[in-house]
Structure 1
Amino acid sequence: MKTFGSLRALAFFGAGMALAPSAYAQEAPEPTPDTDAASVEDDSVLIVVTAQGREQELSDVPVAVSAVSADQLAKSGTNDIRELNQVAPSLLVSSTGNEANGSARIRGIGTVGDNPGLESSVAVFVDGVYRSRSGNALSELGPLDRVEILRGPQGTLGGRNASAGLISIYTAPPEFEAGGYGYFTYGNFDAIRAEAGVNIPLGTTVAARVDGVYFERDGFYNDVNNGGTVNDRDRYLVRGQLLFEPSDDLSFRVVADYSKKDEACCAATFVQPDFAPLARVSPGLDTFARPLPGAPALTSTDNPIINVLLGLGQDPRALTQSTFNRDIYVTPGRSYDGETEDYGVSGELNWSFGDVNFTSITGYREYSNTQGSDTDYTQVDILYRAPGDNAGARAFETFTQEFRLNGSLFNDRFDWLIGAYYADEQLQTRDNLRFGSQYGTFASCRIAIALAPTLGPTTVNPGNANCLGAGAQGALIGDPANPLDGAFGPAGDALVNGLNILSQIRDRGSTMDVYNQNSRNFALFTHNIFAITDTVDLTLGARYTNERKEFDATFGNDNIFCPQQRALQNATLLNPTFLANFPAALRPTFQGLGGGLVSLSCQGNSTSELDGVSIDDEREEDQFTGTAILSWKPTDDLLLYGSYSRGYKAGGFNLDRSALQASPVVGNPAVTGSADNLQFEEETVTAYEIGAKYAKRDFSLSLAAFRQEFSNFQLNTFNGSVFLVQNVNACGTDLGGADTDASAATGSCNADDVEPGVISEGVELELALNPIRDFGMTLGLTYADTKYQENLIGNDTGAPLDPALRLLPGDNLSNAPEITATTSFSWTPRLGDGPARGLVFVNARMVDDYNTGSDLLYGKEQDSFFVMNARVGVTDIADAFSVEAWVQNLTDTDYTQVAFNTPFVAPQQTYSAYLAEPRTYGVTVRAEF
């Protein structure tokens, strides 16, 4: 149900559609001083893109592509790919618990979760070179030439396969004219940003360019306990380039860059009723049931886990302040400090001989990131990563090589392209995730809360190591002859002994886990345009991809209490012979308590049984993808097209030790050397699209309607015990609600009835209007109904869906709003007779309601919101200087990026949330020479 604010914002956009165009078309070339736009309105809009592997006017490209010019990027304040959200409604870029975990979504489809073993659904390329994960591009970009955003599966041209789309970023190249520039910005949160560059021609055939960016800023969160701020900025970029053009037919460009970040990231706050007023504690042990009317609010003291947190030292202000109060109460001594280093070199050769063009793009990159964290996001010391070289570390070394040949035959009736692509990627992740000094008592309180209805209100006492009140402990080891009267006999002894073991888990866990994955990707592709008539073209593309991944891992762990707990409970509360001595009505309760003790003692498969264990595995895939497009230009200004395409994203390995654990309750962890539980299958998509593009110098319009069907959709989520990667499909046979129950054993499907599990369909509109000199407006509108099908199952063998995902059937995907609109207004009038110009620029984005949690739990919904940016100033003063005042998030709109279950507090759950940035503002001074 839409809120009043959503309807009002949508009405605002609707009212402007007659005047406002799309935020992602490049602005039309400016008319000469003695002409106006009307006198040249019959000329084509010369917006050149390379979306199909060759230079084409945007209006002639029969695919859904958005092109954002350098001018538009500068006006919108785009410094990294997250800020593209303001100019592309089908795109959503967000980051969560780590800067390296940034995820891009197009049409509601993206990689869900923070696992580096999953490749990006939206691939990112910078100057034609693939960035291993989209989060790797969350850094300063420096001066840009343009950005192209291709929507829908990409699988028949160069570079990496992508199932949802790609972002191609083109940096500003060297030029054969001497010049330089410098920018300085100061803003709130003590933000200082300096950017400078110089371009030097070295003769008539060689030009060089060097650009540098430095940015520092205080964080948006205030760490009350440790001092300082979190989510700060302290980063820089240096990029050097050489361009060699000995003739019109040959050019070679070399780009080398280095960037570094030393920042604290990423904090979260408790979700309060002001953000999720309907969120309530779920009844019983079923954390996924719809909360009953009257259930306590998540952070109310009527929620028993809140009293435990308070008893263990949680500052009560964190539980009563607004969700969007950015004071955070981090465990004393814990830190979010991290470091990111990213560098590489690439070379692009373009050589034309006759009617044939040859392109070679070679790239080598290294990327590393470490990030400490107070991983439970509370003041209580439950879970942490100590900052350092092994703190959630990930490192990529990537070599890529692409070759393309393209040309034309038969008097330009046949435009052909063939190519090959090779990538070798070495990924290493290291982790030191450990239980904190208060974990044992906190986890024991989870069991004590479950016992409280039987043993009374004094059962829970966080002041004792095992969290049991004295009376409760006495009752548990009471008279074994009367088990129904509150004395559990031998079962009570097993419970107390189990709690005593659990309570000793303090500062235990990973001493260092290391995962290595080598991925080698080889592809052959072709993309050809046949001119059937002067106005009708047929485009056919095909790609063969071979993907091989080799994986190994070695674990270090000092949690000796996990095997002790498992041995005790397998001999008592989980042992049928032992349970036979008790009434049948009590056995399920005892089993549940015994299972809870083992699960909490071994949470995340943390056990010394893995210490020194190594495992390895490999997988190989062969995939054919392709596209077919029929396009027609009934006039020079109008293009109509229809397309079919098939896309692919590689399968891989879940780089998380918890997924090795077949069962958190019984059996042993993965000491046999098997990595079978870590594998997940490749994701494929079949897509259909029809569209129209109309382009004049003063007006352009594009429309696209699409349907995308995803099989083996890759979803990374936490199921209450382990982080798993679940392939999602649907069953063509009605499962009778078995996919929505709490059982992992129900809801299977015959393999012959397996169907795509995710469907994305909708309409996109883009308009650009430049009716007079110095004035432009844009509007973009996306309606994307991106949802899971009914009757969901797991992999394509028909296995049941994990019960943690039972809210998914029939609902929209996380972070997939149905309606998104963007608009912008630009006015740059001349000031007097000189070169100076005024600048007034405003852009805005309106987003519909959506759920931010991968499990779609209630209380993680984000209401519709509206974000506006503005920039005013005077530019081209004496052809050299500019002064601009700017503001991002003008209305200081509060919204979240992702809400999630606060770790380890289910079933008496609370939620936490990563907040989006508040209002920022400042002044920028520019100088050019």
Structure 2
Amino acid sequence: MQRLGLRHHCALGALAGALAFAPAAAQAQDPATDDQAPDLVDAADVDDGNVIIVTAQGRAQALADVPVAVSAVSGELLEKSGVADIRDLNQVAPSLLVSSTGNEANGSARIRGIGTVGDNPGLESSVAVFVDGVYRSRSGNALSELGPIDRVEILRGPQGTLGGRNSSAGLINIYTAPPEFEFSGYGAFTYGNYDAIKIEGGVNAPLGETVAARIDGVYFKRDGFYTDVTNNTDVNDRDRYLIRAQALFEPTEDISFRLVGDYSKKDEACCAATFVQPEFAPLARVDTSINPVTGRPNLDPFNRPNGGPALTSTSNPIIPILLGLGQDPRALSQSTFNRNIYPTAGRSYAGETEDYGISGELNWSFGDITLTSITGYREYSNNQASDTDYTTVDILYRAPGPDAGAREFKTFTQEFRLNGTAFDDRLDWLIGAYYANEKLETRDNLRFGTQYGTFANCRIALAINPALANPSATNCFGANIAAIDGTLGPPAFGAATPLIIAGINDLAQIRDLGGTGDVYNQTSENFAVFTHNIIHLTDTIDLTLGLRYTNETKDFGATFGNDNVFCPANRARLLFDANGNGAPDLFEPSVDTDGDGIPDLAPLAGLAGGLVALSCQGNSTAELNGVSVSDTRDEDEFTGTAILSWKPDPDWLVYGSYSRGYKAGGFNLDRSALSNPLFLDVTNLNTANLQFDEETVDAFEVGVKYSSRKFGFSLAAFRQEFSNFQLNTFNGSVFLVQNVNGCGSDLNGADRDASATTGSCAVDDVVPGVVAQGFEFETSLSPIRDLTMTMGITYSDTSYENDLIGNDTGAPLDPALRLLPGDNLSNAPEWVGTASLSWTPPIGDSGLSGLFFINARATDDFNTGSDLLFGKEQDAYVIVNGRIGITGPDRRWGVELWANNLFDEDYTQVAFNTPFIAPQQTYSAFLAEPRTYGVTVRAGF
């Protein structure tokens, strides 16, 4: 990936220029108020309301005293920033990036460039999300309205001791606004462009001296950002609501119990994509160096020379095929960021999401010992229809309904913690246990469209001779088949010609066939015991030691439904083994069927294999109909942390730490991973192909923090080494899940060639394959009561090592990932800066106050594709949000004008290989949101 260059300097320079007038980054936070602090620590410990309290170490501590990298963002700052779901946290935390792709349930959070890549729910989140102490099964499950928030804590780096569920990259703790023993209420109405309407409201009431309750609700509706020209509708709309009810019971000063129940629902169409054009991705670089293993240039055959035509021009041979099949030409010529889309007529992106649960948190003090118990049960379901090829041509789709790419989670979690002090307060100890039971069911009805057979045959025609392609014919050959069958001369493929033609005609019949209801079930049981202890060696030096043992068991089962009968027909026809040597005859170059002394079938391995692969794409075959598979895996892992910290005076903290993190292995919930269709044996399905191993990380960090009444900063330097890094990537045909490691020996470029057999490594020479290293700087300044300025900068070189291999047995890397060695990870910019300015001056003596708020996020270049193909690179960009308004006395009312993405910056979340469109010859992209703006009116009592 390109290193920091002119574009990066311009982007960061623009941010610096903004800071000269309005330093603003949403990483540091507004000071906590006097009203918030006593809920967490004794009020005597709060200096004029400026101490920020967090629970990052399982205890209430001042942020400046916590020797870990943590960002705490107040509810007030979140409100000013317009944060509605965790994706909006990007604007307030430079080390965090949250994005979503083909389904909002697939949202992924990354910290320091590390996150779960891809859309497979079988992979757990590298960045765990907790709401009120309760784990959300995947980070995408939190892509819904959050309602009123007390604060958000973002812990950076592996969390292998506390935090409930293990996470290898970090975690996000969201604390909703709790009930209070004071009667109050609020309401807000927002109207914005795209006909956005948002209504919020809530009431808090004491129900006696020991019980308080509150209820909050949010409703949000907005038109979509994409216009579906074909079907005269819009996509990527908003239609969602949230209801949350709470009760707080405090019978004594030593007992507090909080009960929370919530329900949210979304009925939205998501997620459309557009074709990538050169203004997003300049034409690919060309690597002409020679591979020392193969002796051939390292040129990716799908990269086009600089200055060449766009990948959607008719010089790309697949484009005339698409046009001949009815592709709307406007989709191929418009800008990447023109949000008109042209899917297949009658196809839909409609989906539905339900998320609800109940939790209870008990805090009970027995003298110097406190018991904390957090119990949670949640259910989450999502389904999303799609025109999965994103073209006007009907190639691949999911029909609306409960089985459309559906996932359902039922999760029970229980955490116990005991903490207290001993040895005259020299030891602050904590022990605990955690249990989670997660039942995951995914269902899919992915089917080939009504034009798939013709389109697939056109790819075969292009491979034989582009002049033979006739997309108006059912089999894409029509009369041109005579050039093959011998009518115009000798049969093109000798004695195998009738087999090839029959295979072509069978492939042409694959129309509206495929999945009729695949069902995957996975039950995960996680049990852990842990301890986290702070030893006060002296009055200024602390040693923190934490250890966790985790046992994870996953039981997997799947049953397949499929009606594609033409796959087994072509497998039987083209993979026959007449001589019984175990190899398909059409793959044996020594066969000479016509006796002319020339191995006339030598060229047919690729052609026969291509016909079978396209007939059985993704193992879509009636051979699997009704077939069930099952498997189980069990893991045991020790993780933990050691931190040495020193406070030379009350305002300073210096620390160094080591931590080890872990993310569970699991199963690839995708039938395409069972086997290459050429070798699929339904009588002996190997579920080992579905498994991937646990991911571990060793992390090292040193840092310094300074905090005073008006100014504070933190600086942390880190290095994180990942073994068995879990990567899920779409190669244009199937989703691959690959563990990535490095080899201590030089592989001489064998990890960069197109061979799946070269590039292995000795087991005792396997080393971490991914390293993230860099630094983070955050600062906040409050020179006067009504003015707060913050800034954060993150530099993270998050890269694959050279000499990559697959799993820790030393197996070669999948050839689809040959661009990875030595490059940055996807969606991992090296430089990110955030900044914010908040000014709330009083207006005369009227009790009125003004509001001026602005924040910005500047992001370096990065590649958005998990396979790192060059055409998926996103240039540096800057996003600015702003809000101005006026507030009445005692904040009883307010009027605000706001804008997000103020300068309407065009950028993408992810670019990917357009499914089936001749892999790696065209790209599509999921676009980020355009400028939104509106007015909000608030009232409260």
Using the size of structure 1 for normalisation, the TM-score is 0.95
Which residues of 2 match residues 93-108 of structure 1 at below 5 A?
Answer: 93-108=98-113
Deviation at 1:586, TM superposition (A): 6.1
Which residues of 2 match residues 64-79 of structure 1 at below 5 A?
Answer: 64-79=69-84
Deviation at 1:342, TM superposition (A): 0.3
Q: State which of 12, 15, 28 in structure 2 corresponds to 1:13.
A: 15
- 8 Å contact 1:436–1:507 — kept in the other structure? yes
- Cα distance change on mapping 1:292 and 1:586 into 2, 3 Å: farther
In the aligned structure 2, how far is the partner of 1:928 from the partner of 1:42?
28
- 8 Å contact 2:101–2:271 — kept in the other structure? yes
Q: State which of 428, 440, 444 in structure 2 corresponds to 1:431.
A: 444
CA deviations over 1:388-432 (Å, ceiling 9, x no partner): 010000000000000000001122111000000000000000000
Deviation at 1:360, TM superposition (A): 0.1
Which consecutive residues of structure 2, in runs of 5 or more, have no partner in the other structure? Answer: 36-44, 289-296, 577-584
Match of 1:465 in 2: 474
In the aligned structure 2, how far is the partner of 1:602 from the partner of 1:451?
20
Give secondary structure in 2 for the equivalent of 1:63: coil
Which residues of 2 match residues 327-406 of structure 1 at below 5 A?
Answer: 327-406=340-419
AA partner of residue 706 (structure 1) = F
Match of 1:36 in 2: none
- 8 Å contact 1:305–1:908 — kept in the other structure? no
RMSD between superposed Cα atoms in Å: 2.2
Bigger shift: residues 45-54 or 713-722: 713-722
Which residues of 2 match residues 78-89 of structure 1 at below 5 A?
Answer: 78-89=83-94
- Cα distance change on mapping 1:84 and 1:776 into 2, 3 Å: same
Give secondary structure in 2 for the equivalent of 1:647: strand
Alignment length (residue pairs): 912
Deviation at 1:16, TM superposition (A): 6.6
AA partner of residue 716 (structure 1) = N
In the aligned structure 2, how far is the partner of 1:31 from the partner of 1:405?
28
Deviation at 1:450, TM superposition (A): 1.0
Q: Does 1:129 align with 2:131?
A: no
Match of 1:726 in 2: 738
Match of 1:701 in 2: 713
AA partner of residue 550 (structure 2) = T
Deviation at 1:878, TM superposition (A): 6.1
Deviation at 1:296, TM superposition (A): 3.8
Deviation at 1:370, TM superposition (A): 0.3
Give secondary structure in 1 for the equivalent of 2:842: coil
Q: Does 1:753 align with 2:765?
A: yes
Q: Does 1:532 align with 2:537?
A: yes
- 8 Å contact 2:373–2:415 — kept in the other structure? yes
Match of 2:659 in 1: 645
AA partner of residue 591 (structure 1) = A
Give secondary structure in 1 for the equivalent of 2:386: coil
In the aligned structure 1, how far is the partner of 2:193 from the partner of 2:204?
32
Identity %: 69
Deviation at 1:698, TM superposition (A): 0.7
In the aligned structure 1, how far is the partner of 2:608 from the partner of 2:674?
21
Give secondary structure in 2 for the equivalent of 1:740: coil
Deviation at 1:718, TM superposition (A): 2.6
- 8 Å contact 1:660–1:670 — kept in the other structure? no
Q: State which of 4, 28, 31 in structure 1 corresponds to 2:31.
A: 28
- Cα distance change on mapping 1:286 and 1:229 into 2, 3 Å: farther
AA partner of residue 178 (structure 2) = P
In the aligned structure 2, how far is the partner of 1:51 from the partner of 1:30?
19
In the aligned structure 1, how far is the partner of 2:597 from the partner of 2:519?
47
- 8 Å contact 1:720–1:804 — kept in the other structure? no
Deviation at 1:173, TM superposition (A): 0.2
CA deviations over 1:722-762 (Å, ceiling 9, x no partner): 32210000000101100000000000000000000000000
Match of 1:847 in 2: 859
Deviation at 1:797, TM superposition (A): 0.2
- 8 Å contact 2:655–2:704 — kept in the other structure? yes
In the aligned structure 1, how far is the partner of 2:641 from the partner of 2:323?
59
Deviation at 1:557, TM superposition (A): 0.3
- 8 Å contact 1:822–1:845 — kept in the other structure? yes
In the aligned structure 2, how far is the partner of 1:312 from the partner of 1:216?
36
- 8 Å contact 2:590–2:602 — kept in the other structure? no
In the aligned structure 2, how far is the partner of 1:589 from the partner of 1:262?
51
In the aligned structure 2, how far is the partner of 1:447 from the partner of 1:908?
16
Match of 2:248 in 1: 243
CA deviations over 1:297-319 (Å, ceiling 9, x no partner): 21000111110110000110000
Q: State which of 484, 505, 516 in structure 2 corresponds to 1:476.
A: 484
In the aligned structure 2, how far is the partner of 1:711 from the partner of 1:673?
28
- 8 Å contact 2:406–2:443 — kept in the other structure? yes
Q: State which of 235, 238, 241 in structure 2 corresponds to 1:233.
A: 238
Which residues of 2 match residues 91-490 of structure 1 at below 5 A?
Answer: 91-279=96-284, 290-293=303-306, 295-452=308-465, 457=467, 459-470=468-479, 472-478=480-486, 487-490=492-495
In the aligned structure 2, how far is the partner of 1:175 from the partner of 1:197?
13
- 8 Å contact 1:281–1:295 — kept in the other structure? no
CA deviations over 1:541-565 (Å, ceiling 9, x no partner): 0000000000000000000000111
CA deviations over 1:36-77 (Å, ceiling 9, x no partner): xxxx99979410000000000000000000000011000000
Give secondary structure in 2 for the equivalent of 1:370: strand
- 8 Å contact 1:281–1:296 — kept in the other structure? no
Match of 2:688 in 1: 676
- 8 Å contact 2:262–2:357 — kept in the other structure? yes
In the aligned structure 1, how far is the partner of 2:792 from the partner of 2:561?
51
Bigger shift: residues 165-174 or 473-482: 473-482
AA partner of residue 776 (structure 1) = T
- Cα distance change on mapping 1:908 and 1:655 into 2, 3 Å: closer
Give secondary structure in 1 for the equivalent of 2:702: strand
Bigger shift: residues 767-776 or 94-103: 767-776
In the aligned structure 2, how far is the partner of 1:879 from the partner of 1:339?
37
Q: Does 1:815 align with 2:827?
A: yes
AA partner of residue 674 (structure 1) = N
AA partner of residue 8 (structure 1) = C
AA partner of residue 655 (structure 2) = Y
CA deviations over 1:851-887 (Å, ceiling 9, x no partner): 0001001100000011000000001346410000000
Which residues of 2 match residues 552-701 of structure 1 at below 5 A?
Answer: 552-571=557-576, 573-574=586-587, 578=591, 581=594, 587-661=601-675, 663-665=676-678, 667-701=679-713
In the aligned structure 2, how far is the partner of 1:842 from the partner of 1:716?
37
- 8 Å contact 2:730–2:913 — kept in the other structure? no
- 8 Å contact 2:242–2:265 — kept in the other structure? yes
In the aligned structure 2, how far is the partner of 1:12 from the partner of 1:590?
58
- 8 Å contact 1:476–1:493 — kept in the other structure? no
